[in-house]
Structure 1
Amino acid sequence: MSAPAKKAFPLRLDPALYAAVERAAAADLRSVNAQLECLLREALAKRGVKVAQSATPKRGRPPKDKETDDEQ
């Protein structure tokens, strides 16, 4: 199952701004893209704009079925 598609678009940033975002992303162990998304969500929330979280597939091992636990 692939992750839901995300909207891709070109973004032009001042090199100093990009460097600052890159440093912040590294400090938070995120990619620059994930950091920008996080910063945008925080800025919108601060302004009172609600953004729905997209359903993303969960990572890791799937939970065990109850039926298989009862049979064993």
Structure 2
Amino acid sequence: MPASAKKAFALRLDPALYAAIERLAADELRSANAEIEVLLREALARRGVSPKVAAPPRRGRPPKEESGS
């Protein structure tokens, strides 16, 4: 799995809760998924938990490998 991949999983939410998240996300110009992530990070921070910061995704073409021939 690449270092930049995020964990995907099914999340069941009350429809009214999801609608509220969608409204918040629209106000912040985010997707609902990104808004859920922000809300979870804020909730963890309030509890004094700081998740490890993931390395940013690597962009561009990978460097050429030197051939030993």
Aligned CA RMSD, in angstroms, stands at 1.8
| Percent of pairs with identical residues | 67
Runs of 4+, deviation exceeding 2 Å? none
Normalising by the residue count of structure 1, what TM-score does the alignment of the two structures yield?
A: 0.73
Gaps of 5+ in 2: 60-69
**Who is 2:37 aligned against?**
37
Which residue identity is paired with 2:13?
L
**Who is 1:20 aligned against?**
20
What is the aligned length?
58
Normalising by the residue count of structure 2, what TM-score does the alignment of the two structures yield?
A: 0.76
Higher relative contact order (CA 8 A, sep 6+): 2
Gaps of 5+ in 1: 60-72
